[in-house]
Structure 1
Amino acid sequence: MQIYKVGGAVRDRLLGKPVTDIDWVVVGATAEEMLAKGFRPVGSDFPVFLHPKSGEEYALARTERKSGRGYGGFTFHASPEVTLEEDLIRRDLTINAMAEDDQGALTDPYHGQQDLENRLLRHVSPAFAEDPLRVLRVARFAARYAGLGFRVAPDTLELMRQLSGSGELEALTPERSWKEISRALMEDHPQVFIQVLSDCGALKVLLPEVEALFGVPQPAAHHPEIDSGVHTLSVLEQAALHKQPLSVRWACLLHDLGKGLTPQSEWPQHIAHEHKGLKLIKQVNERFKAPRDCQELALLVGQYHTHGHRALELKPSTLAELLQSFDVYRRPQRFEEFIAACEMDARGRLGLEERAYPQADYLRGAATAARTVAVQPLLEQGFKGPELGEALKRERLKALKAYKEQYSQ
């Protein structure tokens, strides 16, 4: 029995990055031997065991063969005869197909170390094209390591194109796709993930609503970058630079989908794109079964982001309706995330990345002014039921009028 550290732990050590998760592969052992040593079995698809003390995962060396569609369409074969090289060749990228023994000696049969040095994301073998999930994984790695200068190798990008056109991507479950998309959006360069998916034809399969934005012009006065798709990538880039949470990044990705529905005869104007985009945002949310907080924020940002930009011009009554739409009295954090998404939208424009966004503090102040209206005095005046709600609305509107007047002075 020989035990090797494999995959990401080896890759990240060689890159000088912190190693968090460690995967181990065991060569020359049977499941019975693992159980005899106190390892606990986990999963039913292939033999993986948890270490009796550390709890880390140890997998028996195995080969795999395509047996159906999608990510799960494989049969696995594990036995003591499977070599380390045979186990490594089934992995996606050469930089993930290296192993280390307990002395630190490197096994690198597919030249992963050279690809690390050349900053290339390259597939290990033609079997890469059998697993549609790898399209998303490679795009995610491109997003993770873009800051180090990594790019997808041309021959790997070609395989990704073939996979994207094969119909295999449609076999991915919403849960599996969302897991990759959400992880990719939280990388340092999530815009690279979207760009790579577009480059290989996967975006028009997975997110055709986003793909439709590329080539659609916007007014140069507000959008020096012109292209709606380029703008969306820039907004995502700003969200990552400002360390925004997943819900904000998801909203940033989907906020302008309505522009993809504008007839060419109306370009570069996009009248009512906020309202038009809601049905598209809803269908994307449902397609990937996004978490509820992500779904809700994406819809609200899609509908109201131009309100955010025009915050200083809004009438107190419109401001009151906006605050009510976000339920700022019970869910203040959601409104804060809306403000963040609006600011990323304003900064995601060519040459305007550093501009001030006074709307953010103005909206925060408005929310505070409305929230400070106390209910108790109204109760003491005898208001109750629907009448109490109306009285509360009137008092909040008064507070917002006073806030706006004070701000204008």
Structure 2
Amino acid sequence: MRIYKVGGAVRDRLLGKPVTDIDWVVVGATTEEMLAKGFRPVGADFPVFLHPNSGEEYALARTERKSGRGYGGFTFHASPEVTLEEDLIRRDLTINAMAEDDQQNLTDPYHGQRDLEARLLRHVSPAFAEDPLRVLRVARFAARYAALGFTVAPETLELMRQLSESGELEALTPERSWKEISRALMENQPQVFIEVLRACGALKVLMPEVDALFGVPQPPAHHPEIDTGVHTLSVLQQAALHKQPLTVRWACLLHDLGKGLTPEQEWPQHIAHEFKGLKLIKAVNERFKAPRDCQELAMLVGEYHTHGHRALELKPSTLLELLQSFDVYRRPQRFEEFIAACEMDARGREGLEQRSYPQADYLRGAATAARTIAVQPLLEKGFKGPELGEAIKRERLKALKAYKENA
């Protein structure tokens, strides 16, 4: 029995980055031997065990063979005869196909270290094209390591293009796709994830609504970058720079989908794009079964982001409707995330990245003013039921009028 550290832990150590998760592969062992040493089995499809003390995952060396469509369409074979090189060749990228023993002696049969130095994301073998999930994984790694100068090798991008055209991407489950998408959006340069998907044709398959934004012009006076797709990438980049949570980043990606529906003869104007985009945002949300908080914020940002930008001009009644739509009294955090998404949208414009966004503090102040209305005095005046609701609304409107006059 020989045990090796594999994959990301080896890659990140060689890059000088902190190692968090460690994966181990065990060569020359049987399931019975692992159980006898106290390892606990967890793998349903292939033999993976938890270490009795550390709880880390140890997998028996295995080979795999394509047996069906999609991410799960593989049969695995694990036995003591499977070599380390055979186990490593089934991995996605050369930089993830290295192993080291307990003395940090490197086993690198597919030249991962060379590609690390060349800053290349390159597939290990033609079997790469058997797993459609790898298109998303490579794009995610491109987003993670873009700051270090990594790019996707041309021959790997070509394989990704073939996968995108093969129909295999449609076989991915929403859960697996969302796992990769959500992780990619939380990388330091999530816009690179979208750029790589677009470069290999996968964006058109997975998110045609986002792909349709590229080449759609906007008014240069408001959008010096002009192209709506380029703007969307910039907004996503700003969200990452400002360390926004996943909910905000997802909303930033989808906020302008309605502009992809504007007839060419109406360009560069996009009248009512906020409402037109809602059905598209809903479709993307449902396609990937995004978590409820991500779905809700994306819909609200899509519908109201231009309200956010015009906050200082809104009538008190419109401002009150906006606050009601977000249920700011019970869910203040969601409104705060809306404000953040609006600010990222404003900053995601060429040359305007550093411009102040006074609307943010104005909206926060409006929410505070509306929240100060106490219900108890109205109850004491005898209001109840629907009348109480109307009385609260009147008082909040009065507070917002005073706020606007004094702002």
Q: 5 Å matches for 1:192-207? A: 192-207=192-207
Distance 1:166 1:184 in 2: 23
Distance 1:118 1:372 in 2: 59
Secondary structure, aligned partner of 1:269: coil
Deviations 1:182-214 (A, max 9, x none): 000000000000000000000000000000000
Secondary structure, aligned partner of 1:110: coil
1:25 to partner: Cα distance: 0.1
> When the two structures are superposed, what TM-score results if normalisation uses the length of structure 1?
0.99
Distance 2:72 2:378 in 1: 60
Secondary structure, aligned partner of 2:166: coil
Deviations 1:267-297 (A, max 9, x none): 0000000000000000000000000000000
1:43 to partner: Cα distance: 1.9
Identify the residue that residue 61 of structure 2 maps to in structure 1: 61
Distance 2:222 2:15 in 1: 41
Secondary structure, aligned partner of 2:355: coil
> When the two structures are superposed, what TM-score results if normalisation uses the length of structure 2?
1.00
Deviations 1:313-336 (A, max 9, x none): 000000000000000000000000
1:146 to partner: Cα distance: 0.4
Distance 2:286 2:83 in 1: 43
1:29 to partner: Cα distance: 0.4
Distance 1:175 1:104 in 2: 36
Distance 1:365 1:176 in 2: 41
Moved over 4 A (4+): none
1:263 to partner: Cα distance: 0.1
Distance 1:287 1:107 in 2: 41
Distance 2:286 2:390 in 1: 35
1:154 to partner: Cα distance: 0.3
Distance 2:283 2:24 in 1: 40
Report percent identity of matched pairs. 91
Distance 1:376 1:39 in 2: 61
1:40 to partner: Cα distance: 0.5
Secondary structure, aligned partner of 1:49: strand
Distance 1:280 1:165 in 2: 23
Deviations 1:22-70 (A, max 9, x none): 0000000000000000000002100000000000000000000000000
Identify the residue that residue 155 of structure 1 maps to in structure 2: 155
1:246 to partner: Cα distance: 0.2
Query: Which runs of no fewer than 5 residues in structure 1 stay unpaired?
Result: none
Distance 1:53 1:61 in 2: 21
Distance 2:383 2:119 in 1: 68
Secondary structure, aligned partner of 1:165: helix
Distance 2:211 2:345 in 1: 18
Distance 1:262 1:375 in 2: 45
Distance 1:199 1:352 in 2: 27
Distance 2:203 2:79 in 1: 39
Distance 1:334 1:343 in 2: 14
Deviations 1:235-267 (A, max 9, x none): 000000000000000000000000000000000
Query: Which runs of no fewer than 5 residues in structure 2 stay unpaired?
Result: none
Distance 1:217 1:104 in 2: 54
Identify the residue that residue 5 of structure 1 maps to in structure 2: 5
Secondary structure, aligned partner of 2:77: strand
Identify the residue that residue 289 of structure 2 maps to in structure 1: 289
Distance 1:32 1:44 in 2: 16
Distance 1:351 1:116 in 2: 34
Distance 1:319 1:394 in 2: 13
1:153 to partner: Cα distance: 0.4
Distance 1:190 1:97 in 2: 24
Distance 1:95 1:159 in 2: 17
1:82 to partner: Cα distance: 0.4
1:338 to partner: Cα distance: 0.1
1:79 to partner: Cα distance: 0.5
Secondary structure, aligned partner of 2:277: helix
Distance 1:159 1:263 in 2: 34
Deviations 1:370-402 (A, max 9, x none): 000111110110000100000000000000000
1:222 to partner: Cα distance: 0.4
Distance 1:160 1:382 in 2: 68
Distance 1:145 1:135 in 2: 16
Deviations 1:84-139 (A, max 9, x none): 00000000000000000011100000000010001000000000000000000000
Identify the residue that residue 89 of structure 1 maps to in structure 2: 89
1:301 to partner: Cα distance: 0.1
Distance 1:352 1:396 in 2: 34
Distance 1:70 1:63 in 2: 17
Distance 2:102 2:284 in 1: 46
Distance 2:191 2:320 in 1: 34
